[in-house]
Structure 1
Amino acid sequence: MIDQSVKMLPGIQIWLLLGLFLAWGRPGNAQNSVHLRINQLGYLASDVKEALVFSKQPFREKLQLRHAEDSSLVLEGKPLRVKTATWGSFDYYYSFDFSSVAKPGSYYLQTKTSGIKTIAFPVGPQAYAGKHETLLEFMRQQRCGYNPTLDMVCHEKDGRSFYGSMPDSTYLDLSGGWHDAGDQLKYLITGSYATAHLLMAFELYPDRFADAYNALGQPGSNGIPDVLDEAKWGLDWIHKMHPAPEVLFHQVADDRDHRGFKIPNQDNSDYGWGANSYRAAYAATGTPQGLGTYKSEATGLANLAGRSAAAMALAARIWEEHLQDSSYAAKCRKAALSLYALGRNQEGYQQGNSYGAPYRYNEETWADDMEWAAAEVYALTKEPAYLDQAKAYALQSSNQDAWTVRDTAAHYQLYPFINMGHYALHRHVDEDFKETLEGYYQEGIAYTLKRAAQNPFHIGVPFIWCSNNLLNSLVAQVILYEKMSGDDQFRPFLAAQRDWLFGRNPWGTSMFTGMPAAGEYPEDVHTSVYVMLGLEVPGGLVDGPIYRSIHDSLLGLTLNDPDEFAHLQNRHVVYQDDVGDYSTNEPTMDGTAGAILMMAHFGIPVK
């Protein structure tokens, strides 16, 4: 896709071209041009709206905001020099605030003299209307079992057990769930979080979700909001992964999956029973595991049991209160209590397993998950013991489990990337404890805000693997903090984090596939459906920028095409829209699910 910053208006005069040549170098040389960065998806009327301009030479033009319909002038002004450290090879950064523009409509920004302009973007309530439904479209693409996007059934033989009380290779039905990312593994680590997050998003914004698909993800209303259909896909799989009170499976398949791009129902991976057959299913034991070269670490299984219990308790309330389905509510209630008890009995964490490569989900936290579980189970049962336990877990977790107060972390070490337990518990405790919980969120926001003040994009996350997941979690934390405390001082910071995800970043690209359709977004994504079938499924959040020190050390990472963003990269952080870059351009299931709360928050009620 073409960098929007180098598009020129027709009819430009020869003297102007000469002036540009003298000021910035040869016209058309993207390395020396002026770059405009906005949130391509758009803005609400009340949003802080700040565009960014950067170049290698001083920028002396004015910027103009114009109506897209007729190009009439709305606002004109000189951008202000940004007084922070620069980003990479560009020395001059300027901000242009157009927050005063609140009238609904379609607009674009352009430089007054040279005519460099952005795409048209909306202002008003429709900017985010229904956009969370696009993310659900990507979630349906990730379904294992029946996949409605591909209209096929895959991995029907999942799986055969390893570790735990069952004899190795015992078959049990673990079909269903979601493929984790561009690969076809299934993890309870991410699946439990995605499920619980979808349910919490619905509980917070029940009027903003449509009903356009049935339970199988096929077009057609079934009387259930699509977000709950998707959450139930995850719930049903968690029920399978917890077939008995003392049994919990945590992973189906491993990196033996990584045998090139493949259609899901033609999986060439072989776990000992031939290609496209049974796959290994790992029981959570709270002990290190690994059938191949590499071993995971483990001290318990409360992280998995806690998140799963939180999801089940949320589901029990929602299916009872919103859907009047007492039978399914009772099933989820039973599972919630069983899973929570399992977590209490085996406190600690269980990590993901790898086989022939060193990469795995390195989660090392669990008190945050048990806090979330205890708070949700208390809301379900009203039994005081659960409230006492939730408060104890909250104090134990505090911010010790949070990446927001650290400068770096290992891959998924501090997962989930937001402690939902603090919010879930807040409504049930006294004023003093409420202030404690608010303080945990506020401390993390303040720490990331301090980091953001050091760069012109006002971005506050460390660029570890899956930095975009950190970003949407930080956005959610600011949203929930405001709901808890009533303190809205962080709204400008919130806007900057959100806007980064939709184009106000060095590369000028949205981080969601196909969003907006007329903008710059990840195209050459690391997924089989794109590589083999040419399908561009919108709504998937890619991993995002990563420290070059991490990126350049990863195994098997090679670009298929020249880096279209080469002129925008710096020495420290890299993002590449290339099929071969699994570290920055692979859409993730849990990252996409984790952005649905953010998108629903900025959306509007369904009529």
Structure 2
Amino acid sequence: MGINIDNAAFYQRELRRADADFSGEIDSEQEIKQALQLILEGRPIDELPQKYQRTLRQFVDTQSREDTAFNDIIDTPEVEAAVAELMKHFQTKEDLLKELVYSAQAPIVSEPNPEPDAAHNAVRPITEPVRGLAENEKVLKINVAHIEPLWDKNRLQGRRVPGGFEIYDPRLNSSFADCEMFAVVVNKTIDYGEKTLRLTLQVGQDFRALWGQKIFQVTLNGIELKPGNFELDFGSDLKGFVPPQDGVYEFIVPKEMQNIGVLAFMTAGATNYFARVSNIEIVVQPEPAPQVNDQTIQSNQIGYIRGFAKTAIVELPADSAVDSLEFSVQNTQGEAVWTGRSTYNQVYKDAGAKVMVLDFSALEQPGTYTLIVPQQNGISGELKTPVVLKENPAAGLSATRNAALLAFKWFTDGEHGPYGNIHEQDKETPIYGSETTIDVSGGWHDAGDYGKYTVNGAYSAGLLLVNKKYADNDLAYDAGLVPRENAARADYLSIVKHELDFLLKMQRTDGACYHKATAAEWLASEVAPQDDAQLKTVLPVSTTATADFAAAMALGYAEYKNSAVAEDRIMAAQYLAAAEQAWAFLVQNPDLIMTAETYDNHRYGGPYTDHQDQDERLWAAVELFNATGEAKYQKYIKDNLPALLTQDRFGDNAPDWGNVNYLALFSYTRNSNADPELQQKIESALIKYADALLARQAENPYGLAFAGIGAGFDWGSNSVAATAGLELMYIYKQTGNLKYKQGALKIVDYLLGKNPNGISYITGFGEKSVRQPHFRPSMSGQYPTPDGLLVGGPNSVAYSGDTIAMSIQTYPAMRIYADDQNSWSTNEVAINWQANLAALLALLSEE
């Protein structure tokens, strides 16, 4: 007998519960077909033979891991008759089986109310107007395969229903005065032309809005859509919401949007939240797309350095048959001073293109030139770009170096920042689970938000001080800090001192350090720092925060104890006492302390959690030994450091705030009182590691040595790349071998524009540089975007609800990037990323 779609949904819910723990091999394709046949004919799951239940469950699990040919399963005589009625609801048989598979994978709503109460969340029937398609229109029907929660607030639930989905509050007669985000991943393409998104909304009869007349905001590919047949209800944050009224809603989709990636719904506060969305489609009136020549030359937009490699890139389609390109470099008189043909000339997977490298390294006369790729096979029109050749790194990079350092001013709270008296409430911040308050004013904001994190703050300040050990000129340059705090103290040290002094406030009387000070909820992106009235909470201590703190304070002591400024020498003594007290706590508490329930990424900002603290403890021991020379620290180092020398990347997954073994190793080698034999072993291991980085870089036409674990591009891949450059500079400083400095400069070329996106990832530097970073002060519209900020860059790993990045997640890894303020997973800024850039440029620009 036939079966309607509602029964199919019921059967699939039952399937989720059937033999959920089964794991084994699929018995046979025939059993799959027979099981599907019985389900589609209306047979309840629990009445199927046990082997069919197991087989079908395993088949469903398999679909989430393998690209199985769906038609091979359905398109057989024995099931054709059974699916005929269901096919009225789907465009293809593949879509039908995907419907069954995703239904079986949908999460079961947890107690206390596993399913929406039918009476409580009853919706009124709605009659849709009959709308035919005009002769020149096309329609993309969006079948909801899965409704995905993007924010981990664990309150509202989403589930698929026939023709769409529902979002609801499982708690009856309860209010939720917050927002959540749910998404439907589409990943379809559609023609260029005028477009309209249509959907049917049915609101639960007991729904009561808490924020005016709002039920949800609709975005497509992260873009808030303009209304077509209704008016939005706007909040104080200027976000427009759909009103909680039954009806068919139309939205205007930008005509140039052809990749339909992610359709997202951000809910509004309500009592008894319940919304059913169905019949989602996009109607387009196709028209010819404008012809745009998007071929460009990707190059370092600031300038190349005499005596080092100079390359640029032109990308062709991956299937191009062109074997090479001719190019030339012309001087200001229009004379060709260099001609050549491209090299590499092969497809690079992470760019999704055939990469043609233009190498003009032999050009050595400083000046301004034009790099030209004439029209030829594969090039539809002449390409040209200016090229600047600088005499030395100081001439080429000092302005960028200064801006990268001064950007920390824009992260700074209190008297040393540009915002005036902000966050006065931080002076009385409650400790989690206590009525006690402490002063956590001052210091650096962590990233695009206004939270303050001990782990990342200590890492960033500590890295900048480790970097100073490798400097030839003591980094005493005038970066242009206004006002100049003390003529006897370099800007570099003034900026670091702001964070060290703040970190002292995060230490408890027993030596332990609080993990972070953040508000319970994320602040709206458009709120300026002076308008942030949120009360922060000081979160419990952790051993990672305590160890990072100890390292940074010991470094601070070593640096400021000989300062010409009397205040600095006084503070240096405090830094050392704090570091030693933190170490004493670590000795008394040898096991990891990490209060997981308060660092769970649901509340109180970013977690900054770690599964172990051995690298942080080692770094602390190294810096305390460097500062004091005491034997107890040397013993800890000798007991724990040597084993790292044979591990991949010295036990660091990627060098960053959570993986600091590399800082311990590089710092130990600069201690004149260290064990020379151990130093030699470390240096040999570091050189081997650096040579491996150069080998990877040689295989990458864009000059990258490392951007993430495996083949991935990590969250903050630009920072990972910059850190690899910094490591190469440290090896250059130890060996004097210019190949390592060359490797570092290639990474700077990438950051300044020689990348698949053709963009300088450093704000304010380059003709095409980042314009819209995820940085709340500039997003508020009350402050300019500071120059010198490094944004996170391509991210192929995790998106954390970033619907803009999600909409392009199928792109090649190096192209999963958007210069958009709302793309926090690719375009945010952060103090640790900034520290890596500032440190790298400081060393490169010395000569």
Aligned equivalents of 1:550 and 1:559: distance in 2? 9
Once the two structures are overlaid, the 10-residue window that deviates more, 221-230 or 316-325, is 316-325
Alpha carbons of structure 1 residues 401 and 106: separation in structure 2 relative to 1, 3 Å: same
Q: Could you report, residue by residue, the CA deviation over 1:370-400 in whole angstroms, capped at 9, with x for unpaired residues?
A: 3322222222222222222223332354475
Counterpart of 2:438, as a letter, is L
Distance 1:590 1:353 in 2: 19
Q: Distance between the aligned counterparts of 1:487 and 1:391, measured in 2?
A: 29
| 1:128–1:577 distance in 2 versus 1, CA, 3 Å | same
| Distance in 1 separating the partners of 2:804 and 2:346 | 36
Distance 1:491-1:231 versus aligned 2 partners, 3 A rule: closer
* Alignment match of 1:65 (pick from 312, 329, 343): 329
Measured against aligned partners, the alpha-carbon deviations of 1:218-256 in whole angstroms (never above 9, x if no partner) come to 357633111111111011011111142433112001451
**TM-score (normalised: structure 1):** 0.79
Q: Could you tell me which residue of structure 1 aligns to residue 843 of structure 2?
A: 601
1:185 aligns with 2:451: yes
Asked if the contact 2:652–2:661 (Cα under 8 Å) also holds between the matched residues in 1, the reply is no
Residue of structure 2 equivalent to 1:338: 581
Residues 269-308 of structure 1: pairs in structure 2 closer than 5 A: 276=533, 278-284=535-541, 286=542, 301=543, 303-308=544-549
Change (3 A) 1:251 1:66: same
Task: Give 1:151 deviation, angstroms.
Answer: 3.5
1:505 corresponds in structure 2 to 755
| 1:279 alignment partner AA | K
Q: Aligned partners of 1:94, 1:539: CA distance in 2, in Å?
A: 29
2:454 & 2:729 partners in 1: Cα distance? 26
**Paired letter, 1:183:** D
For residues 658 and 691 of structure 2, the distance between their equivalents in structure 1, rounded to whole angstroms, comes to 20
Measured in 1, the distance between the counterparts of 2:818 and 2:730 equals 32
Write the distance in 2 (CA, Å) between the matches of 1:131 and 1:337.
37
Of 109, 113, 118, the match for 2:385: 118
Q: CA deviation at 1:76?
A: 1.5
Greater relative contact order, per chain length (Cα 8 Å cut-off, separation 6+): 1
**Are the equivalent residues in 2 in contact too, given 1:367–1:396 (CA < 8 A)?**
no
| Structure 1 residue 142, shift from structure 2 partner | 0.6
Q: In structure 2, how many angstroms separate the alpha carbons of the residues matched to 1:148 and 1:42?
A: 31
CA distance in 1, matches of 2:350, 2:304: 25
Residue 302 of structure 2 corresponds to residue 29 of structure 1: no
Equivalent of 1:424, from 659, 667, 681?
667
**Within 1, Cα distance between the matches of 2:574 and 2:506?**
14
Q: 1:53 aligns with which of 298, 314, 318?
A: 314
> How many Å apart are 1:436 and its aligned residue?
2.8
Pairing partner for 1:470 from 697, 700, 720: 720
Q: Find the counterpart in structure 1 of residue 504 from structure 2.
A: 239
Q: Does 1:379 align with 2:622?
A: no
* 1:127 correspondence with 2:396: yes
Q: 1:146 to 1:558 in 2, by over 3 A?
A: farther
Of 397, 418, 437 in structure 2, the residue corresponding to residue 149 of structure 1 is 418
Worse-superposed segment, 131-140 or 440-449:
440-449
Alignment of 1:304-453 (within 5 A): 304-323=545-564, 325=566, 326-347=569-590, 348=592, 350=594, 353-354=599-600, 356=602, 360-398=607-645, 402=649, 415-416=658-659, 419-428=662-671, 429-449=674-694, 451-452=696-697
Preserved CA contact (<8 Å) 2:650 2:662: no
- Cα displacement string for residues 231-287 of structure 1 (whole angstroms, at most 9, x for unaligned residues): 1101101111114243311200145133332011211xxxxxxxx153101131x4x
Whether 2:447 is the aligned partner of 1:202: answer: no
* Contact map agreement 1:316 1:380 (CA 8 A) in 2: yes
Q: Does 1:480 align with 2:730?
A: yes
Contact 2:324 2:343 in 1 (8 A): no
Q: Give the Å deviation of 1:211.
A: 3.6
Write the distance in 2 (CA, Å) between the matches of 1:94 and 1:567: 25
* Counterpart code for 1:128: L
C-alpha separation in 2, matches of 1:311 and 1:170: 26
Q: CA deviation at 1:440?
A: 4.1
Closer/same/farther in 2, CA of residues 120 and 49 from structure 1, 3 Å limit: closer
For the residues of structure 2 that align with 1:241 and 1:575, how far apart are their CA atoms? 35
The whole-number CA distance in structure 2 between the counterparts of 1:477 and 1:585 is: 24
Secondary structure of the residue aligned to 1:106 is: strand
Contact (CA 8 Å) 1:87, 1:455: kept in 2 or not?
no
The aligned residue for residue 138 of structure 1 is: 407
Instruction: Measure, in 2, the Cα distance between the counterparts of 1:253 and 1:122.
Output: 46
- The residue that corresponds to 2:75 in the other structure is none
1:580 and 2:829 equivalent?
no
Q: Cα deviations across residues 507-559 of structure 1 (Å, max 9, x unaligned)?
A: 0111111123xx21111111222222251211111111011x633xx325348
Residue of structure 2 aligned with 1:544, choices 768, 793, 817: 793
Which residue of the other structure, out of 456, 463, 467, is the alignment partner of 2:701? 456
Higher percent of residues as strand:
2
Q: Rg larger in 1 or in 2?
A: 2
CA 82–212 in structure 1, closer or farther in 2 if over 3 Å, else same: closer
Deviation at 1:197, TM superposition (A): 1.8
| Equivalent position SS for 1:51 | strand
Partner AA of 2:417 in structure 1: P
Q: Give the whole-Å Cα distance in 2 for the aligned partners of 1:245 and 1:588.
A: 30
Distance 2:695 2:515 in 1: 37
**TM superposition shift of 1:45:** 1.6
| Rounded Cα–Cα distance in structure 2 between residues aligned with 1:203 and 1:239 | 23
Equivalent position of 2:435 in the other structure: 169
Contact kept? 1:417, 1:473, Cα under 8 Å: no
CA contact (8 A) 1:403 1:414 kept: no
Q: Would the aligned equivalents of 1:417 and 1:470 in 2 still touch at CA under 8 Å?
A: no
Contact 1:472 1:598 in 2 (8 A): yes
Contact 1:191/1:234, CA 8 A, preserved across alignment: yes
Structure 1 364/121 Cα, relative in aligned 2: closer, same or farther at 3 Å?
Answer: farther
For each residue in 1:303-361, what CA deviation from the matched residue of structure 2 results, as whole angstroms up to 9, or x when unmatched? Answer: 32222222222221221224353322211221222222223333436478246369632
> Structure 2 vs 1, CA of residues 544 and 488 (structure 1 numbering), >3 Å: closer, same or farther?
same
1:252 aligns with 2:517: yes
Unpaired runs of 5+ residues, structure 1, are: 1-25, 268-275, 287-300
Q: Deviations over 1:187-228 (max 9, x none)?
A: 0111001111222333433444434666xx535763311111
Match of 2:17 in 1: none
Q: CA distance change for structure 1 residues 594 and 571 in 2, over 3 Å: closer, same or farther?
A: closer
Q: Which residue of 2 aligns with 1:23?
A: none
Please tell me the root mean square deviation across aligned C-alpha atoms, in Å. Answer: 3.3
Q: Which amino acid aligns with 2:714?
A: I
CA contact (8 A) 2:805 2:817 kept: no
Equivalent residue, structure 2, for 1:77: 340
Q: Give identity over the alignment, percent.
A: 21
Worse-superposed segment, 347-356 or 464-473:
347-356
1:159 and 1:46, CA in 2 relative to 1: closer, same or farther beyond 3 A? farther
> For residue 512 of structure 1, what is the amino acid of its counterpart?
I
Q: Secondary structure of the equivalent of 1:333?
A: helix
Distance 1:397 1:324 in 2: 39
Moved more, 460-469 or 73-82: 73-82
Structure 2 gap segments, 5+ residues each: 1-288, 376-380
TM-score by length of 2: 0.58
Cα separation, 2, equivalents of 1:96 and 1:435? 40
Q: Which residue of 2 aligns with 1:527?
A: 775
Whichever residue aligns with residue 312 of structure 1, its letter is M
